[in-house]
Amino acid sequence: MKKKFSNKYPMVWQKDDLYLEIYCSIPNIATGIVLSTDNSIFVIDPGDGILRDLYKNFPKTEILNISDIFISHGHHDHIGGLWGLLTYLFVMKKKTALNIHYPLGSIEISTVLKAFADVYKNDLTYKINLQAIIDNKIFSRKNVKIYPFEVEHFDDEVLGTTSQKVPALGYKFVYKGKSIVYGGDTAYCENLVKMTTGSDLAIIEAGGKSENDSTHMTIKQAESVGETANEYFLVHINE
Ligand SMILES: [Zn+2]
């Protein structure tokens, strides 16, 4: 088992034409991930800075080819760059459709997407297909098989507000026999372990401050999940 961990971003993993790059994953700041193959480019969690990072790493034509965005949950550090990315795509005259996958019931995500549609409905050059995920149904996009799965995540207790469970997903991506699991933000949960076990790469958050944290995993918990995969990155670690 090989751990790949440093607090340094970007983190890169590649097997043949399956390429994954984590530009950033810092709690309360931003997560931004890109996954690509020879004929696809996906964004996973468009946190703040995602457009800048894509622009630095891909030619404009490739960015316009983004076909799918996968969002784990609606917290600001996972969707902060969504508006800018969607706007850039039509300013640059994207023509092909964009699918946005997200957990059903995420008020932040549905509100941002509704506002975006309201503001730009007459200008959009491309179609946005909203794919609110309600169950763990497997689907395929561009020869990549996607297995969404529910994870356990809560709002932070801020200013005395009671912590609430939020709609939150992890995703497993399988392409040409290779599998990548991204758990999103989650406490230790069976679903995550089940999906991670035997995968080629697991991207596991370790943002928990103590074992009593029901929202995130400690580094120790995250390592125990990561060890079930062939290789893993620990991300979303408090600095
Ligand atoms: Zn979160």
Tens of pLDDT, residues 42-68:
999 999 999 999 999 999 999 999 999
Rounded distance from Cα 25 to ligand 1 centre (Å) = 11
Stated pTM of the model? 0.95
Domains detected in the chain = 2-235 (3.60.15.10)
CA-nearest of 114, 116, 63 to 93 is 63
pLDDT at residue 159, rounded to an integer: 47
109 CB-near residues (< 8 Å, 6+ apart): 71, 74, 79, 82, 102, 103
Rounded distance from Cα 73 to ligand 1 centre (Å) = 7
* Whole-number Å distance between alpha carbons of 31 and 47: 5
How buried is 224 (Cβ within 10 angstroms: 0-12 exposed, 13-18 middle, 19+ buried)? middle
Rounded distance from Cα 170 to ligand 1 centre (Å) = 12
Rounded distance from Cα 76 to ligand 1 centre (Å) = 8
Task: Please tell me the number of Cα atoms within 13 Å of 75 on its side-chain side.
Answer: 25
Rounded distance from Cα 147 to ligand 1 centre (Å) = 20
List residues bridging with 40 in a β-sheet.
37
CA distances from 18 to 41, 145, 175, 204, 209 (A): 10, 13, 7, 19, 33
Rounded distance from Cα 198 to ligand 1 centre (Å) = 25
Rounded distance from Cα 185 to ligand 1 centre (Å) = 5
Rounded distance from Cα 155 to ligand 1 centre (Å) = 7
Query: pLDDT per residue over 64-117, tens digit each?
Result: 999 999 999 999 999 999 999 999 999 999 999 999 999 999 999 999 999 999
Rounded distance from Cα 112 to ligand 1 centre (Å) = 16
Distance of CA 12 to the CA centre of its chain: 15
- Type of residue found at 225: V
**181 and 201 Cβ atoms separated by less than 8 Å:** yes
Query: pLDDT per residue over 137-155, tens digit each?
Result: 999 999 999 999 999 998 8
